[in-house]
Amino acid sequence: MATTSKSRLDTPLIQALRGVLPQQRVHDTPEDLAVFGYDGTWALHRPDAVVSPVTAEEVAAVVKVARKMGVPVVPRGGGTGLAGGSVPVEGGVVVNTTMMNRILELDGPNMVAVVQPGIINAQLQAEVEKIGLFYPPDPQSLRQCTIGGNVATTAGGPRCLKYGTTKDYVLGLQVVLADGRIIRTGGKMIKVQTGYNLTQLFVGSEGTLGVITEATLRLIPKPRYKGTVMVVFNRLDDAAETVNRILRAGILPLALEMMDNACIRSVEAYKPFGLPQDAETILLIDQDGNDSRVLQEELAEIARLSREGGASEVRQAATPAEGEELWQARRAVSPALARLRPNKLGEDISVPR
C-alpha cells in the first residue's frame, strides 16, 4: 500500500488556525512550509504555518489569531520579489494570497479595475485590454507576480519611463491591519482632496503595515499602435548618451532598456534569440501612440539619433511578434545570469539617468 511522506504538525498555532479556516487551507507539512520559506533573493526561513484565505474576513481572522498568540504575519503573493519581503525571517504565519485571484470589477466608463491581491499582473493586463483599456506597470516577472505584491513593492518595469510605476495607478485599497480590523482607503475617484493619503502609505510598505486584500486600480485608454527598435552600439558611453539624445528631442519612449555584452552573451547561451554577441551594448526601445504616421516618424527619428550617436546597427521589428521576441530576450537576462553562478544577487537599483 502506498504511503505519504508528509507528516502534519499539531502545534497550538496550527490548531488555532484550523479553528478559523478550513483544514485544507491551513498548510502545515514540512514540504508545504519549505515552499513558502523563500522568494527571489537568497533569504530562506521556514514559517511556522501557511494559510490560504479567500476573503478579507478570513485574513482578518488569521491576523487576530496570530496577534493573540504573539507570532508574526507575513503576506505573500507570487514569491518573485527581490527584497525578501515575503520571507518569514522570524517564523510566524505566511498569508498566501494566491487564492484571492479574482477580478471583482472592470468599470469601463470610470476606467477602473477592482481586483483581489492574488491576480497575476499579465492576466489583469490581458483582461483589461479586451475592453480597449491599458494597465501599464509591467515588472519583468509579470507572468508570475501578483498585483498585491506589485502594490506592496510599488513595482515598475520597462514601461515606467513613460507611464510610471504601480504607485501611479493605485486609487484605493482594502487592508487588514495588525489588530484584524479591515479598512478601506481611497476609491474610484481621481480627485480626492480630503484627509490623509492613506492609500499611498500602504503602497510600497512591503507588508509591514497590513495585508492588502483588494486594490482599486486606475486604467488608461490602450494606445492603438506600437513599434520596437533594437539599436546596437560598440561603446557603452555612446548608448548612454543616445538615451539623452532621444529624450532631449522630445520623444518619450514607452520603454527603453539597456543590455551590456555580458547580458547579451548570457542570454544567447541560455536561449538563442539572435542578439549580436559582439556588441558592447544594445538598447531596446518601444514607442506607442494613436497615430500610425506619427509613430513611424518617431521611430525614424529614434533611428536617426541613434546613428548620429554612434550606433552600428538599427533594427526595427517588422511585426508585433518580432518585437515581443526581443523583449523576451530582455526578460531572460535574470535566469540567464543565474546559470553562470549559483548565488546570483539581483537588485533593483536607482541611479540618476
Number of H helices, E strands in the chain: 12, 15
When the pLDDT of each residue in the chain is averaged and rounded to a whole number, the result is 91
Query: Among 55-64, 182-191, 302-311, where is mean pLDDT lowest?
Result: 182-191
> For residue 252, how far is the Cα from the chain centroid?
22
Whether residue 97 contacts residue 76, with contact meaning beta carbons closer than 8 Å, is answered with: yes
Predicted pLDDT at 2? 37
Residue 215, SS3 per DSSP: strand
Which class for 353: exposed (0-12), middle (13-18), buried (19 or more C-beta within 10 A)? exposed
Predicted pLDDT at 1? 34
Q: Provide the percentage of residues in the chain whose pLDDT is more than 90.
A: 80
Q: In what order do the strands lie in the sheet with 255-260?
A: 255-260, 281-289, 225-233, 311-316
pLDDT band at 189 (very low <50, low <70, confident <90, very high): confident
Question: For 130-159, how does the pLDDT look when each residue is reduced to its tens digit (9 = 90+)?
Answer: 999 999 999 988 899 999 999 999 998 889
pLDDT band at 3 (very low <50, low <70, confident <90, very high): very low
Whether residue 180 contacts residue 64, with contact meaning beta carbons closer than 8 Å, is answered with: yes
pTM value > 0.85 = yes
Predicted pLDDT at 307? 96
* Count of CB atoms situated within 10 Å of the CB of 340: 12
Residue 285 amino acid letter: I
Question: For 320-353, how does the pLDDT look when each residue is reduced to its tens digit (9 = 90+)?
Answer: 999 999 999 998 988 888 888 777 777 777 777 7
Instruction: Note the helical H segments in the chain.
Output: 12-18, 30-35, 56-69, 121-129, 147-153, 160-163, 198-202, 236-248, 261-270, 292-308, 320-331, 333-338
Predicted pLDDT at 8? 59
Question: For 213-255, how does the pLDDT look when each residue is reduced to its tens digit (9 = 90+)?
Answer: 999 999 999 999 999 999 999 999 999 999 999 999 999 999 9
Question: For 4-61, how does the pLDDT look when each residue is reduced to its tens digit (9 = 90+)?
Answer: 445 556 799 999 999 999 999 999 999 989 999 988 887 889 999 999 999 999 999 9
Predicted pLDDT at 344? 74
